[in-house]
Amino acid sequence: MIKTRVEALRVLGLGPDAGEQKIKAAYKDLVKKCHPDVTGMEDATLYNRITEAYQFLITESKGQVLTHTRVMGKANTRKPASSADYAAFQKKAAKQKERRKQEFEQKQKDFSAMYEKQEADYKRAMEAIDAIRVARAIEHMVWANGLGKDINNDVKEE
């Protein structure tokens, strides 16, 4: 456990007159070099000691603590939305809504055309079935009267 400023500065490799900027720079460099993910070592005592020294110095000087992501160079790039971004969002959303509306209308037209075609095919099939039934009824009536029994339509007798 670090108890004095001099001891914390020594861990970071700095002299007793180091300012906040030098402390932050030294901390960043040491963390980048000694982090367990970088070194591949499972023992994180050196890294923890460096972090403890930095925390002690920052708490002592009441400065702002650096987050791990800022130290490793992964700055938070998220920015608040502006009214221009919202206007662009609204424009994009309106285009998507219009595109979806057109796609839906096209699907409805395609479905209607398919349904009408099926209805027409069904109607033609039913008319053909009715015509076949009428033809068979006529044929049965002819046979019932004895007119067509002796006649073979396809065969010629000699």
Residue 45 predicted with pLDDT over 80: yes
Helices then strands, each counted (H, E), the chain: 6, 0
The answer on 14 and 65 residing in a single domain is yes
pLDDT in tens, 57-109: 888 766 454 455 444 445 555 665 555 678 888 899 999 999 999 999 999 99
Tally the domains of the chain: 2
pLDDT value of residue 11:
86
pLDDT top residue among 67 and 33: 33
Residue 114 lies in a domain: yes
The answer on 24 and 64 residing in a single domain is yes
Tokens for 46, please give them.
């050196």
Total Cβ atoms within 10 A of residue 50: 23
The answer on 62 and 14 residing in a single domain is yes
pLDDT top residue among 48 and 104: 104
Residue 77 lies in a domain: no
Which residue among 54, 71, 88 closes a domain? 71
pLDDT value of residue 48:
86
pLDDT value of residue 157:
52
Residue 76 lies in a domain: no
pLDDT top residue among 22 and 158: 22
pLDDT in tens, 101-158: 999 999 999 999 999 999 999 999 999 999 999 999 999 888 888 776 555 555 555 5
| Distance, CA of 107 to chain centre | 24
Total Cβ atoms within 10 A of residue 59: 10
Q: Which domain holds residue 103?
A: 99-152
What pTM did the predictor assign?
A: 0.39
